A and B are shown apart, each in its own frame.
Chain A
Amino acid sequence: MQVEARSRFDNYVVGSANRLAVAAARAVAESPGGVYNPLFVYGASGLGKTHLIGAIGNEAVARAPGLSVEYLALEDFIEQIHAAVAVGEMERFKQRYGRVDMLLLDDMQFLTGRRETQSELLRLLNALQGSGRQIVMTSDRPPSEISDVDERLLSRLSGGLIVDIGVPDFETKVAILRGKAEERKVSFAPGVIEELSRLDFTSVRELQGAMNRLVAQQSLDGTLTPAQVRAVLGAEGTPEPIDLEPELEPEPETVDVTAPAADEFFSFVTNIATAVAAQIEPWKVRVGETVAYWAGEGYRTAALERLMSEPVAPANYEAVLRGYGHAVEQLRQLESKVTTVDPSLGGDELFRDPERLPEAAAFVERALTGAVPPQGPQAAFERRAFQESASNQMAVRAADAVVAEPGQRYNPLFIAGPSGTGKTHLLNAIGNELARRGGGTARVACVGAQLFIDELIAALQEGQIERFRARYRAADALLIDDVQFVGGKERTQEELFHVFNHFHTAGKQLVLVSDVPPKAIEGLEERLRSRFEGGLVAELEAPDRALREKLLARYLADAVAGDEALLPYLAERPVSSVRELIGVVHRLQALAENKGEELTLALARQELEPAGAAVQAPPVTVRQAADVFFLDDEKIVWEWPDVAGRLVEELR
């Protein structure tokens, strides 16, 4: 929030009741963070506390235009904390306020009983004070009288200078009113302002209100005389002065006796403060502060200390300080980068010395190249090549949901189905889609359980288990094929358990694939089984007729043209897996090739029916492989370009 531009020192009337407060405020505005930190101004409502801290802010900015000054009523501050908590951006909130050079907090009395605000404020005050930033606070009572405030915070609030603003004396009131009248371009008859000042208004705000009433009255009745003042203001003014004046009188007197005494010392201190602020070399203070700050954060500051021993301010010292900050920032980034690969490398001495930045960078480079991310999905398996039907609908829909909202809907997604039903295809397709969705930055780990086990064993052998974990944890999604293989392998299950938990709590997607549902995996620990079942277990079944038809239509794209009865016939034959179906098609095609005939229903019947339950897989694959060799493109005449085309080609 911005400080009101009208709040300035030059329109703030100084009297005996606020002289000390104004002197302190000026000192603070002249050297923020230098004297009285925090400055705590208290006084009853309407005596100009807000004006005063506004003036500090404006003056400070006028003196040092780059200064970031933040003015806030405590209630706004509390509201902002709540808002930040609500949207989960507490860190940003902290950072934002950690950066201001001068924090002006109004109305601190509202701290009463607000525990979270108090602890947040305590933390903030510590941070600001620690880095030499100025804090100014106001309240309607001294800190010790704000009830229900944490002891530590209380000592912080009282740690700088506490000054009060009292009720203005007669002369001050006159001066204030004259100023206001000038500001509003109204004039009063001689004696009116004095008469008004004599009335017992205990706050400037009330006084202004009374003056406004006089102005209004004057616009109706013409110029007022001093005698009319009390009558116009009626009840408010008249009874009180008579009762209270005698009581009030002695008080200012006693104050007067002690005031110059206290004043003399304080004005001396203020004077010295300004002299010190002007004389001590600001650049050394800057450097000293920076050294203290970074040394406190655990960084080596030798470079800056060397700067301190320079006799005069080096021309580039600001650049050196900034450079140091950048270097620390880079070190932090490097450190966080390396810990994703291997947490044990974090906290290395290298990351604490900005002078060794190049070394640290090289170190991280080595560590990163040493760590290959886990295997990703295979690009060949595409989602759109995966045919959907009633037999796999549930799994496919779940897969699409996972891709649309990773980590949100089904986590984990467990796909179970017999061999050859397309589990691996679907898994890799999910992986590819997730990677695409992440726009290249998403790291999708897609591994077979066997590979996971092998890598774990290798990591155990090399004592690199930390790195193994970090590699997997760094991924944004983890897809594991053939997860049934972890059954009976205790160490792997333990590791998988931790990785699983990490992904699950971080809201990162897990997809597991197995040939049987979790409860049927032998030797699977209960804690893993229950976790596997915690999301959605979707089963892939043997292809139904509809799916068979779709698949056949694709695989027989050319051949079927010859005989329309072939496709329904083949689709009718039940198969246990897509793989088997493809096997049948290849077998028939090879047969037709061999015989030099077209693939017809009759041929298919002849081949498939006598053999009965067509499950003799091995010979099929052998023959198929041989046929593929003969189907080599270059050796098939009809695929050559036609003669005319070739002539044209040669003429060119």
Chain B
Amino acid sequence: MSLVNYATREITCKIVYYGPGRSGKTSNLHYIYGQVPEDRKGKMVSLATQTDRTLFFDFLPLDLGTISGFTTKFQLYTVPGQVYYQTTRKLVLQGADGVVFVADSQARQLDENIESFQDLHANLSEQGIDPRVMPLVVQYNKQDLPKELILPTAELSDAINFRSVPEFSADALHGPGVFETLRGISEIVLRRLSAAGSTPAAAGSR
């Protein structure tokens, strides 16, 4: 997937929200969608079950307008968290420019978090992507829950974020931390553009 196409003057950035089931990936997208001014709103596509769980994936196209002369589009995806949707997760991960790992801050979900994080790495490796190269940020969601239910970010960080990628605490339902996370991943993705050389860009311009 190409990021910057100098020929068509487009920047397209695919960001995948990854994480265990019910960690709040779709909430992230919903909040972002809610903040987009009316005239810029694309259509959020959500393939959800009747009980509002993401069956396949959510897709939110974000049109940021023309930036530096480039038509800039962000595509935000979520993967279904449940273990048995492995194939869908792999599919959605394909061509991702960056991954947001949404962790559930609840103490009892710690194992699911770790499992999902390992699953992410496995899926990336399977697609021939070095997980250490893929831009990644971690979000500790549900920090608004009562203190006794959740783990402090420091502990979560110790347990999950062994790669020391940028981390954000968030309350995706109400908004705090959502845009910070998105900004964090976007910046890494965009920075990687020049760092990784123009291999993807050059490939795209042909």
Interface positions of A (Cβ within 8 A of B): 31, 33-37, 132, 161, 261-262, 264-265, 267-269, 271-273, 275-277, 279-281, 284-285, 287-289, 292, 308-309, 311-312
A285 touches B37 (CB 8 A): no
Given the contacts A264-B35, A272-B72, A277 and B67 also touching, CB distance less than 8 Å: yes
B69 touches A285 (CB 8 A): yes
B191 touches A269 (CB 8 A): no
Given the contacts A273-B68, A285-B69, A311-B198, A280 and B36 also touching, CB distance less than 8 Å: no
B190 touches A308 (CB 8 A): no
A35 touches B68 (CB 8 A): yes
B194 touches A279 (CB 8 A): yes
11 contacts between A and B (CB under 8 A): A35-B66, A35-B68, A36-B65, A264-B175, A269-B64, A272-B67, A275-B190, A276-B11, A277-B68, A279-B194, A285-B68
Mark interface residues in B1-19 (1 if CB within 8 Å of A CB, else 0).
0001011010100000000
Assess whether B124 is interfacial by the CB under 8 Å rule: no
Known: A33-B69, A273-B64, A285-B68. 11 other contacts (CB 8 A): A132-B69, A264-B35, A272-B67, A275-B190, A276-B68, A279-B194, A280-B70, A280-B194, A288-B9, A311-B202, A312-B197
CA distance A235 to B124 in the complex (A): 73
Segment with Cβ contacts to A, from B53-61, B130-138, B180-188: B180-188
CA distance A292 to B35 in the complex (A): 35
CA distance A33 to B67 in the complex (A): 9
Instruction: Identify the 5 closest CB pairs spanning chains A and B, nearest first.
Output: A34-B68, A265-B35, A279-B190, A275-B190, A273-B67
Assess whether B193 is interfacial by the CB under 8 Å rule: yes
Kindly report which residue of chain A lies nearest to residue B195, judged by CB atoms. A279
CA distance A311 to B198 in the complex (A): 6
- Of B34, B70, B182, which one neighbours A276 at CB under 8 angstroms? B70
Given the contacts A275-B191, A280-B4, A311-B198, A268 and B70 also touching, CB distance less than 8 Å: no
Assess whether B205 is interfacial by the CB under 8 Å rule: yes
A280 touches B182 (CB 8 A): no
- Of A33, A276, A284, which one neighbours B6 at CB under 8 angstroms? A284
Mark interface residues in B70-114 (1 if CB within 8 Å of A CB, else 0).
101000000000000000000000000000000000000000000
B197 touches A311 (CB 8 A): yes
A280 touches B64 (CB 8 A): no
Measured between beta carbons, the chain B residues less than 8 angstroms from A33 are 68-69
User: Which of B69, B190, B199 has the most chain A CB atoms inside 10 A of its CB?
Assistant: B69
Measured between beta carbons, the chain B residues less than 8 angstroms from A280 are 4, 11, 68, 70, 193-194
Measured between beta carbons, the chain B residues less than 8 angstroms from A161 are 65
* Interface secondary structure of B, over-half rule: mixed
A272 touches B9 (CB 8 A): no
CA distance A161 to B67 in the complex (A): 12
A268 touches B183 (CB 8 A): yes
CA distance A284 to B201 in the complex (A): 11
- Of B66, B69, B187, B190, which one neighbours A289 at CB under 8 angstroms? B69
A261 touches B186 (CB 8 A): no
CA distance A406 to B9 in the complex (A): 55
- Of B6, B37, B201, which one neighbours A262 at CB under 8 angstroms? B37
- Of A34, A262, A308, which one neighbours B67 at CB under 8 angstroms? A34
B179 touches A268 (CB 8 A): yes
Kindly report which residue of chain B lies nearest to residue A34, judged by CB atoms. B68
Kindly report which residue of chain A lies nearest to residue B192, judged by CB atoms. A279
A37 touches B190 (CB 8 A): no
CA distance A280 to B70 in the complex (A): 10
CA distance A450 to B105 in the complex (A): 103
Within the complex, what minimum Cβ distance (angstroms) separates B27 from chain A? Answer: 15
Given the contacts A268-B179, A288-B6, A308-B205, A281 and B194 also touching, CB distance less than 8 Å: yes
Measured between beta carbons, the chain A residues less than 8 angstroms from B197 are 311-312
User: Which of A31, A37, A262, A273 has the most chain B CB atoms inside 10 A of its CB?
Assistant: A273
Within the complex, what minimum Cβ distance (angstroms) separates B7 from chain A? Answer: 8
CA distance A276 to B68 in the complex (A): 7
CA distance A309 to B194 in the complex (A): 15
Measured between beta carbons, the chain B residues less than 8 angstroms from A308 are 6-7, 205
User: Which of B35, B183, B202 has the most chain A CB atoms inside 10 A of its CB?
Assistant: B35
CA distance A265 to B64 in the complex (A): 10
B69 touches A34 (CB 8 A): yes
Kindly report which residue of chain B lies nearest to residue A267, judged by CB atoms. B179
CA distance A271 to B40 in the complex (A): 17
Measured between beta carbons, the chain A residues less than 8 angstroms from B193 are 279-280
Measured between beta carbons, the chain A residues less than 8 angstroms from B67 are 34-35, 269, 272-273, 276-277
A261 touches B35 (CB 8 A): yes
Measured between beta carbons, the chain B residues less than 8 angstroms from A289 are 69
Measured between beta carbons, the chain B residues less than 8 angstroms from A276 are 11, 67-68, 70, 72, 190
CA distance A269 to B202 in the complex (A): 25
Within the complex, what minimum Cβ distance (angstroms) separates A314 from chain B? Answer: 13
